[in-house]
Structure 1
Amino acid sequence: MNKKSELGSQTVQSTMLLPLWGRATASEKNPEILNDKEAIEIIKNCNYDFSSIAKTFGEFGGICYIVRARRIEDTIRKFIQKHPCATVVNIGAGLDTTFSRVDNGRIRWYNLDLPDAIAFRQKFIPDPSRNTSIAKSLFDISWFDDVAFHPKDGILFISAGVFYYFKEEQLKEIFKAMAHRFPGGELYFDAESRQAVKKSNRMVQKTGNKGAMMYFYVNNVKDIEEWSPNIHAVACEKYFEGIPANREWSSGIRFMMRASDWLKMMKFVHLRFSDK
């Protein structure tokens, strides 16, 4: 059954198609890193021309998407080993398929995204058991009340490719509010350096999307700790660290991975909120 994208092409929400394409195409070639069967199936059933995305981002771009998904999955698995009944909130869920690969049969999962993005998501990924979609903006803090939170069970917030699109002051305020409302919680997300964000903006513009400019970057994770005494940096990790290399990758791709980590262009940030 073909389902045509109804998202506007000049919106941040439409960028959810980029990681979908990346996970589907790159996981077929690199299943040892990520085996995203759902993304592959969605691509087959989605009446959308991905040729422009493929041309712009290429093989390295696809690898970046599966590495991001893998690193987030690994973090979730470690968290739910300690907290098997944890709550996981996927901020800016888009067409993410992580739940199906990490579910232990006990966690509670929430997909938070804007109303049109959630409506689009549910055409392809209906909410399974213990899943709840919240059709609200990240900055509409009424979503706090939609999340069942039991401090003893733990809560982990994840976000992939989302925070780039907001101004630092916006994120500062919502991080502070989350830290106050969800004491003991943790937040894991990807980020880029200031220079990398400039480069990413040029690439996104090549796809024709002029409405998804990126603003937020992380050069020093300690700067985020200064936002609130309740926010603590657990780690700032190299993007490709610990990822198994595929022998079929070109020398150019291997070089870009090493250069990215050496220059700290892309990274993963892990924060923890103070207990009350």
Structure 2
Amino acid sequence: MEKKPILQVQTVQNTMLLPLWGRAVASEKNPEILYDKQAIDIIKNYDYNFKNVAKTFGEFGGICYVIRARKIEDAIREFIRKYPRGTVVNIGAGLDTSFSRVDNGSILWYNLDLPDSIAFRRSFIPDSERNISIAKSLFDTTWFDDVKFTFEDGIFFVSGGVFYFFKEQQLREILRIMARRFPGGELYFDAESRTAVKKSNNMIKKTGNKGATMYFYVNDAKKFQSWSSAIKLVSCEGYFKNIPFNKQWSLRLRLMMRMSDWTHMMKFVHLRFLK
């Protein structure tokens, strides 16, 4: 078997294995939400001990990862219904496999991530003509020139589990620049409250990774509109809203989901860059 690249343990990049594990494990049990065959195949063929991850995140964590993929993909499908030849940029793509499920045969898709992350990704998921990787940091704005799009066909940015690792000042600045460069574009991503981010930091450390501190949180999504007059909040909704419940889920699991939405601990934020 071909030897795969190794991710350094004490890094943010290493966290890409967490959603991969979650989608593989939870999608087998919850195919009505999302079924990720690529993730399942990668887990089977990658020599990594996920026992500590499974013990730390458990069933709820796995379901959260598969729901995150489903919600982001639903948002992408809504976008490409309006813009069938649009461009999608997946920020911090890691080992995301969404393109294989949402591709309509005409969209142009970019996976943006750090060079070592893209090298790791390509060892499992090769690029194709319309599914292209960009090995650069989000903050290296030269990637703007690597993305092909037209204002008429639209551009949609998505990011799953990434913005947490940035400080607010960093994110504020890059979103201001993106809003100016991509007027009419949209951005969809997940976020947590300050309390939830503290809990997530503790869980990541329990996996043995002490080099991936989470900073960014969202208690009130309206704050994004104060960052720039070109940024508009389209929506902010509960993490588990409109997700079909599996009858086999325990009462405890369902209560955790309802409590999360009720207390606004986890959410999805949709922004638009005004023209």
- In which range does the TM-score fall when normalised by the shorter chain? over 0.9
| Aligned twin of 1:241 | 241
Contact 1:24/1:39 (CA < 8 Å) preserved in 2? Answer: yes
Offset from partner CA, 1:196-227 (integer Å, 9 cap, x none): 00010010010111100000000111111100
Is the CA contact 2:5–2:123 (under 8 Å) kept in the aligned structure 1? no
CA separation in 1, counterparts of 2:2 and 2:246? Answer: 33
Per-residue CA deviations over 1:44-90 (Å, capped at 9, x if unaligned) read 11111101100000000000000000000000000000000000000
The 10-residue stretch of structure 1 (76-85 or 128-137) with the greater mean CA deviation from structure 2: 128-137
Q: Deviation string for 1:140-183 (max 9, x for gaps)?
A: 00000000120000000000000000000000000000000000
Name the structure 2 match of 1:118. Answer: 118
Q: Are 1:79 and 2:79 matched, yes or no?
A: yes
**Are 1:62 and 2:62 counterparts?**
yes
| Counterpart-to-counterpart distance in 2, 1:266 and 1:232 | 20
Task: Give distance in 2, aligned partners of 1:8 and 1:260.
Answer: 32
Question: What TM-score, normalized by structure 1, do the two folds share?
Answer: 0.98
Whichever residue aligns with residue 212 of structure 1, its letter is A
Match runs of 1:96-107 below 5 Å: 96-107=96-107
Contact 1:2 1:46 (C-alpha < 8 Å) held by counterparts:
no
**What are the equivalent positions in structure 2 for 1:130-149 lying under 5 Å apart?**
130-149=130-149
- The residue number in structure 1 matching 2:231 is 231
Q: Which residue of 1 aligns with 2:95?
A: 95
Amino acid at match of 2:30: N
- Which position in structure 2 is the counterpart of 1:49? 49
How far off its partner does 1:3 sit? 4.3
Q: Report the aligned-residue RMSD.
A: 0.8
> Following superposition of structure 1 onto structure 2, how do residues 1-276 of structure 1 map, counting pairs within 5 Å?
1=1, 3-4=3-4, 6-275=6-275
CA distance, structure 2, for counterparts of residue 204 and residue 5 of structure 1: 22
- The offset of 1:35, in angstroms, is 0.6
**Contact residue 109 and residue 132 of structure 2 kept, 8 A:** yes
Q: Secondary structure of 1:47's partner?
A: coil
Give the gaps of 5 or more residues in structure 1: none
Q: Report the alpha carbon displacement of residue 131 of structure 1 after superposing the two structures with TM.
A: 1.5
Cα distance in 1 for residues equivalent to 2:222 and 2:143: 28
Seq. identity, %: 71
Does the 8 Å contact 2:4/2:120 carry over to 1? no
How far off its partner does 1:129 sit? Answer: 2.5
1: distance between equivalents of 2:197 and 2:186? 24
Unaligned runs of 5+ in 2: none
Task: Provide the rounded CA distance (Å) in 2 between the counterparts of 1:48 and 1:204.
Answer: 16
Conserved in 2, the CA contact under 8 Å of 1:4 and 1:48? Answer: no
CA deviations on 1:106-161 (whole Å, 9 max, x unpaired) are: 00000000000000000000012311110000000000000012000000000000
Instruction: Work out the CA distance in 2 between the residues paired with 1:3 and 1:95.
Output: 17
Tell me, in whole angstroms, the C-alpha distance in 2 between the residues paired with 1:131 and 1:255. Answer: 38
Consecutive aligned runs of 4 or more in structure 1 exceeding 2 Å deviation: 1-5
Taking structure 2 as the reference length, the TM-score comes to 0.99
Cα contact 1:193–1:217 (8 A) shared by 2? yes
